[in-house]
Amino acid sequence: MSNKHKQSGSGHKSHAPARPNVVGQASSSFSVVSRAVLSRRMLFQLAMIVGLSCVLGFAFNASSPVGVKFGKPFVASVVSEIVVKPAESSGAVAQPALEVEPPMPPDLDETPVVAAVVEEISEPAVPPAQPEPSFAAPWPVAVPASPGSHHHAVQNPATPNQSSTASPANPSQTHWPESKALVAGGRAVLVDVRHKAMFDAGHIPGAISLPESSSQEEFSAFLSSQPREKIIIVYCSSTSCSQSARVANRLVNEFQWPDVRYMTGGYMEYQQMEHANPAQ
Amino acid sequence: MSKSFRPKIFVALRCLLGLLLLWAAVSKLANPAEFLGSIYAYELPLPRAVLQSAAVVLPWMELLCGLLLLAGFWPQTALVSVTGMMLVFVLATGQAWLRGLDIACGCFNLNIFGLQEGMPGLVRFLESVAFAFFRNLLLTAVAAYLLVREARQAVFSRAIAGE
Averaged pLDDT of chain B? 85
The predicted pLDDT at position A8 comes to 43
Q: Does B60 touch chain A (CB under 8 A)?
A: yes
Angstroms from A56 CA to nearest CA on chain B:
7
Among the partner residues B33, B68, B156, nearest to A66 by beta-carbon distance: B33
Q: Cβ contacts of residue A258 below 8 Å, gap of 6+?
A: A170, A228, A229
Q: Which of A134-139's residues contact partners 24+ apart within 8 Å by CB, and which partners?
A: A137/A280, A138/A177, A139/A177, A139/A180, A139/A277, A139/A280
- What residues of A are in contact with residue B81 (Cβ under 8 Å)? 46, 49
pLDDT (average), residues A16-44: 57
Model confidence pLDDT, tens digit, residues B64-78: 999 999 999 998 899
Query: Pseudo-torsion of CA B76, B79, B85, B89, nearest 10°?
Result: -150
Model confidence pLDDT, tens digit, residues A158-205: 333 333 444 567 888 899 999 999 999 999 999 998 877 678 777 899
The predicted pLDDT at position B3 comes to 57
The answer to whether the Cβ–Cβ distance between B55 and A68 falls below 8 Å is yes
Instruction: Grade residue B109 by pLDDT with cuts at 50, 70 and 90.
Output: confident
The predicted pLDDT at position A110 comes to 34
DSSP state, A171? S
Residue pairs spanning A and B at CB distance below 8 A: 129
Determine how many CB atoms are found less than 10 A away from the CB of residue B102. Answer: 18
Cβ(A264)–Cβ(A239) below 8 Å: yes
Angstroms from A269 CA to nearest CA on chain B:
11
Instruction: Grade residue A277 by pLDDT with cuts at 50, 70 and 90.
Output: low
- The length of chain B is 163
DSSP A116-149: ---------SS---PPPPSS--SSPEEEESSTT-
Q: How far apart are CA A120 and CA A86, in angstroms?
A: 5
A58 vs B31: which has the higher pLDDT: A58
Does the pLDDT of residue B128 top 80, yes or no? Answer: yes
DSSP state, B134? H
Q: How far apart are CA B43 and CA A67, in angstroms?
A: 21
Determine how many CB atoms are found less than 10 A away from the CB of residue A26. Answer: 16
Predicted-complex ipTM score: 0.87
The predicted pLDDT at position B64 comes to 96
Model confidence pLDDT, tens digit, residues B43-65: 888 888 898 899 999 999 999 99
The predicted pLDDT at position A22 comes to 52
Q: How far apart are CA A127 and CA A125, in angstroms?
A: 7
- Reduced to 3 states (helix: H, G, I; strand: E, B; else coil), residue A227 is coil
A48 vs A17: which has the higher pLDDT: A48
Give the residues across from A201 on adjacent strands.
none
Determine how many CB atoms are found less than 10 A away from the CB of residue B139. Answer: 20
Among the ranges given (A106-120, B13-27, B114-128), the one the predictor scored with the smallest mean pLDDT: A106-120
Averaged pLDDT of chain A? 63
The predicted pLDDT at position A240 comes to 58
> What's phi and psi for A23, nearest 5 deg?
-65, -45
In chain A, positions 49-88, which contact chain B (CB-CB < 8 Å)?
A: 49-50, 52-54, 56-58, 60-61, 64, 66-68, 70-71, 75-76
Tell me the CB-side half-sphere exposure of residue A28, using CA atoms within 13 A.
6
Judge residue B25's burial from the number of C-beta atoms within 10 Å of its C-beta, 0-12 exposed, 13-18 middle, 19 or more buried. buried
Report how far apart, in Å, the C-alpha atoms of A28 and of each of A16, B76, B95, B152, B159 are: 18, 22, 42, 14, 10
First to last CA, chain B: 31
Confirm whether pTM is higher than 0.80: no
- What residues of B are in contact with residue A175 (Cβ under 8 Å)? none
B142 vs A275: which has the higher pLDDT: B142
pLDDT (average), residues A47-64: 92
Cβ(B11)–Cβ(B70) below 8 Å: no
- What residues of B are in contact with residue A38 (Cβ under 8 Å)? 154
pLDDT (average), residues A239-251: 78
Instruction: Grade residue B5 by pLDDT with cuts at 50, 70 and 90.
Output: low
pLDDT (average), residues A224-237: 91
